[in-house]
Amino acid sequence: MKTTVSVFAIILLSYSLQAQPEKEIKAELKHVTVFPDRAQLSHDGSLQLTAGKSVLKLSALSPYIDQQSILVKGYGDFTILSVNQRNNYLENLEDLPEVKELRAQVEQLQLKSEDEKAAIKVLQEKENFYVANRAILVRDNPMTVEQMKAMTDMYSAGIEQVTTALLKKNRLVKEYEKQIAALQKQIAERIGRQQLPSGEILITVTADKPASARLAISYVVSNAGWYPSYDIRVDDITRPVSINYKANVFQSTGVPWKDVKLSFSNATPWVAGNLPDLYPWFVDYFVPVTLPPVRGVAYGRAKKADAPLQSRSEDLSEVVVMAREEESSPVQVNVREGETTVVFDIAVPYSIPSDGKLQTVEMQRLETEAAFKYVATPKLSPHTYLTASIRDWAKLRLQSGEATLYFENAFVGKSDLSINQLSDSLLLSLGTDAGILVKRDKRKDFTSTRVIGSNKTETFSWLITLRNNKKSTVALKLNDQIPVSSNSGITVEAVELSGGTADQAGTVTWDLSLKPQETKELVLTYSVRYPKDKKVILE
């Protein structure tokens, strides 16, 4: 029995020595590096350490911390023994100061509303008193005309005063309830439908003597990210292209980022850095599996019901015109380039709430020279498109993203900027231009079908008309096509191309220069010969 007690005492003593009290520390969130689908948060704080072992706790953090990403650096005369992370389900992020402040505002408004409701009850009692006494006085006391007039005036003044006061107080109550509903909605958005646990990082340190310490703590969280977008503006095709490079950042980590320095990186550190291995690729004969027929189900391609085509073009009835005035100064941004990554450091602090909503941050304003050319494909579209070709585009550090287009100080639409191009020039589509007209008409007199012997020859001819209504000469690339034979029994011949060139894929191109108010006509004629007992779909 003594041995059992001694062992129990030793275990209890050992546990008490190991169970160090946790000391709450403050380390302000200073910097956030946002990746495409997560973010790295960096805290910095100073504290005083006592001699011996201490467990330091940094709390009220996001519960979405990647434990393997935690990095703690210590500065001072002490040693870091261990770093751990946990989620505290007994302390919720709902208890953060921001939520507490919102709840305090709700309580104050509720008290004010209760005061006004109490005052309304008093006024209603006063109103009832006026009404009851009026009936008694009229019933029990005969009055002269002058007395009746005096009583009526007194009653009217009292009722008017009470009614006005009731109206004002009811309006106040409605306003308080409206503000309470807005604050409660903000609280609901802040904490989400479910209460989030509080993330915590525990740092065990030891010091031989009391010391001043500074801790730099960083970690990666999910539920955050960014993507690029652009405002591309061309005021005149004789001037450079203006590109506003913007970052669209969002986060719902459970913790707001208040007045922090932001950096945007295109890195993907979560992607494994190991080289992929190729394993043996085994092939065998394919044995189809016969499925038993299911009653009521027909195998094969289902015929879709005809549906009206819906245009995705936006209503541009109200065109946004941008005045070309002196612009505000851009935000100062430092760009750091690595071997494979680019990081944009924003100099101005930003606050990003944890609501999942997008917030746009301007990163760069660029101007670059470009070669402008109009492109038209009248077989597919009746519009002419302006394009800009940018050389040495890799130096601009762009990424693929959506672009909003402005031409000649007017909004013209949206486009996609894709950097997945293997050419030295980056081609940007800047939308349509109504100043260049293009039309494609079939020449019926030159379109025919002939049968000679065992062969049938079909000839098609098109007249393409272009007109430049602009005040300057423009370069235009015109695209069309002729069919390409995939059978030795079918022969395609380009009869007339009006100076155009056809490649092996059948694409016919013309590189043209149109002077102001100039009209040009081009003819595209081709013929297709094939056996008359066969059918070839050409239109």
- CATH of 437-531 among 2.30.30, 1.10.1060, 2.60.40, 2.20.25: 2.60.40
| Predicted pLDDT of residue 429 | 79
pLDDT (tens digit, 9 = 90+) per residue, 433-458?
A: 888 999 999 999 999 999 998 999 99
Q: Are 99 and 186 in contact (CB under 8 A)?
A: no
Please name which of 210, 243, 246, 203 lies closest in space to residue 228, comparing C-alpha atoms: 246
Please name which of 82, 70, 68 lies closest in space to residue 20, comparing C-alpha atoms: 82
pTM: 0.62
Rounded Cα distance, 103 and 190, in Å: 12
Please name which of 93, 112, 92, 94 lies closest in space to residue 103, comparing C-alpha atoms: 94
pLDDT (tens digit, 9 = 90+) per residue, 184-204?
A: 887 776 665 456 788 999 999
pLDDT at 339 over 60: yes
**Residue 499: CB partners within 8 Å, gap ≥ 6?**
510, 522
Lowest average pLDDT, out of 29-43, 396-410, 465-479, goes to: 396-410
pLDDT at 101 over 70: yes
- How many CB atoms lie under 10 A from the CB of residue 449? 9
Higher per-residue confidence, 219 vs 96: 219
| Predicted pLDDT of residue 110 | 87
Residue 234, φ and ψ in degrees, nearest 5: -125, 110
| Predicted pLDDT of residue 539 | 74
What value does the mean pLDDT take over residues 119-130?
Answer: 80
DSSP secondary structure code for residue 103 in this structure: H
pLDDT at 182 over 70: yes
Rounded Cα distance, 209 and 202, in Å: 21
**Helix (H) or strand (E) segment spanning residue 150:** helix 145-191
What value does the mean pLDDT take over residues 330-354?
Answer: 84
State the average pLDDT for the chain.
80
Q: Where are the domains of the chain?
A: 21-222, 224-271+330-434, 437-531
What value does the mean pLDDT take over residues 385-407?
Answer: 82
**What percentage of residues in the chain have a pLDDT greater than 70?**
76
pLDDT (tens digit, 9 = 90+) per residue, 240-286?
A: 888 888 999 999 898 899 999 999 998 877 665 566 666 676 644 45
Higher per-residue confidence, 129 vs 93: 129
* Phi-psi domain of 14 (left: phi exceeds 0; alpha: psi -120 through 50; beta: other): alpha
Q: Quickly state the pLDDT bin for 500 (edges 50, 70, 90).
A: very high
Higher per-residue confidence, 70 vs 16: 70
